[in-house]
Amino acid sequence: MTVFAHSSFSEHELVAFHHDRRSGLNAIIAVHSTALGPAVGGCRMYPYAAEADALHDVLRLSRGMTYKSALAGLPFGGGKSVIIGDPRKQKSRALLEAMGDFVHSLGGCYITAEDVGTDVADIRAMARRTPYVAGLDDNEHGGDPSPSTAYGVFLGIRAAARHRYGKESLNDFAVSIQGLGHVGFKLARLLIEDGATVYGADINATNLERAAEELGVRPISSDEVLFLPADVVAPCAMGAVWNADSISKLRTGIVCGAANNQLATPEDGERLRQSGVLYCPDFVVNAGGIIEAHHQRQCSSECDRLAHIGRIETTLAEVFRLSRDRQVSTELVAKEMAEDILRARDGTNQSIAA
């Protein structure tokens, strides 16, 4: 397993590995950039089949956080952490506290939060050992970033509908959502309130039933959900869903969802463009949650928070315009915009890694 020569290394400032003998913790923290501020990014707990998979995931997620915060105009760098293990079987108070110690050992250059496999209670356990956590406030549910993430994705869909179809409203739009968890469920509610018809799939039957009963989401199978003839397809589950094979089966004009790292490879952004699909880069549209975390720390007003999330629509419109004018993928344009912001700040000549 290589680190410096890894295909996703892309000039990470720091990659730290930690084993805690007492709790059995095996974890990696990756800090891609602190050019704009401390690196903020969630802690994912996942039963990776191999250590190399965990390293690959943390490096890609960490770099995505740099781009996300830069484009959202936040004073944060990009980082991420992973705990190798099954969150349903291997999570313990000792393990989470050991993770808190690990985060603390970096002296504040990395601030952690919730991600897939961890929740507010887990971050609270880490917070017993370190102040370097985000996404928490006095109200147990106040730290949940998913309502703001869903709102940002909803705004992204609106911007894409305007650009692609010249429509101001989503009335009569058909949207297909993969994953009706924290973000997908709330996104479905916003879309239905705006007049859209929402189709959805979830491998968790309880989540699917709840969305059907409470919101009127029309259930479809997990195999079909990405390939439905719909105006918009919204991946809100796991990453790497777009590759040569899945793109060839798409029957939509717009892809816009919350899932991180949706492209299996950088070439898939160009593949989507050449297939006539307007792709909304995930790190642009799913920034609502981290914008929310920033405003919680600042104790800002609701008005300021919503206005800031609203800027996702403006940024995306600029990405679409540049992509059309230059005939390059939206993913490439958005990465270049983020790199320009970083270069302007620290004067270095960071390059876009493949």
Tokens found for residue 66: 């740099």
- Residue 304 DSSP class: H
The answer to whether 91 contacts ligand NAI (rule: CB under 6 A) is no
User: Which single residue is written with the structure tokens 């191999």?
Assistant: 50
Please identify, among the stretches 175-183, 263-271, 303-311, 332-340, the one whose residues bind ligand NAI according to the rule CB under 6 A. Answer: 175-183
Between 60 and 158, name the residue whose CB sits nearer to ligand NAI: 60
What is the DSSP secondary-structure string of 255-266? E----SS-BSST
Burial 111-141 (b: 16+ CB within 10 A, else e): bbbbbbbbbbebbbbbbebbebbbbbeeeee
The answer to whether 252 contacts ligand NAI (rule: CB under 6 A) is no
Per CB under 6 A, the list member of 121, 203, 244, 307 interacting with ligand NAI is 203
Q: Is 170 within 8 Å of 150 (Cβ atoms)?
A: no
Between 23 and 300, name the residue whose CB sits nearer to ligand NAI: 300
What part of residues 107-166 is at the interface with ligand NAI (CB under 6 A)?
Answer: 116, 145-146, 149
The answer to whether 182 contacts ligand NAI (rule: CB under 6 A) is yes
Between 97 and 152, name the residue whose CB sits nearer to ligand NAI: 152
The answer to whether 202 contacts ligand NAI (rule: CB under 6 A) is yes
CB of 22 to ligand NAI, least distance (A): 29
Instruction: Tell me, yes or no, if 249 is annotated catalytic.
Output: no
* Sign, Cα dihedral of 213, 177, 320, 286: positive
Please identify, among the stretches 18-26, 160-168, 195-203, 345-353, the one whose residues bind ligand NAI according to the rule CB under 6 A. Answer: 195-203
Between 97 and 242, name the residue whose CB sits nearer to ligand NAI: 242
Per CB under 6 A, the list member of 238, 264, 322, 341 interacting with ligand NAI is 238
Q: Which residues contact 250 (CB under 8 A, 6 or more apart)?
A: 226, 227, 233, 272, 275, 277
User: Measuring CA to CA, which residue among 352, 283, 350, 270 is closest to residue 316?
Assistant: 283
- Residue 145 DSSP class: -
* Catalytic-labelled residue, pool 80, 91, 186, 335: 80
Between 97 and 117, name the residue whose CB sits nearer to ligand NAI: 117
- Residue 106 DSSP class: T
CB of 246 to ligand NAI, least distance (A): 12
Q: Is 44 within 8 Å of 61 (Cβ atoms)?
A: yes
Per CB under 6 A, the list member of 8, 178, 296, 330 interacting with ligand NAI is 178
Beta bridge partners of 45: 83
The answer to whether 222 contacts ligand NAI (rule: CB under 6 A) is yes
CB of 177 to ligand NAI, least distance (A): 9
- Pairing outcome for strands 197-201 and 218-219: parallel
* Sign, Cα dihedral of 216, 220, 222, 225: negative
Burial, 21: exposed, middle or buried (Cβ in 10 Å; 0-12, 13-18, 19+)? exposed
What part of residues 285-324 is at the interface with ligand NAI (CB under 6 A)?
Answer: 286, 289
Please identify, among the stretches 10-18, 30-38, 176-184, 314-322, the one whose residues bind ligand NAI according to the rule CB under 6 A. Answer: 176-184
Please identify, among the stretches 32-40, 189-197, 237-245, 329-337, the one whose residues bind ligand NAI according to the rule CB under 6 A. Answer: 237-245
The region, left, alpha or beta by phi > 0 then psi within -120 to 50, assigned to residue 201 is beta
CB of 152 to ligand NAI, least distance (A): 9
The answer to whether 219 contacts ligand NAI (rule: CB under 6 A) is no
- Pairing outcome for strands 77-84 and 197-201: unpaired
Tokens found for residue 188: 């479905």
Please tell me the count of residues contacting ligand NAI according to CB under 6 A.
26
The answer to whether 176 contacts ligand NAI (rule: CB under 6 A) is no
Catalytic residues: 80
Where along the sequence are the contacts to ligand NAI (CB under 6 A)? 116, 145-146, 149, 178-184, 201-204, 207, 222, 236-239, 258-260, 286, 289
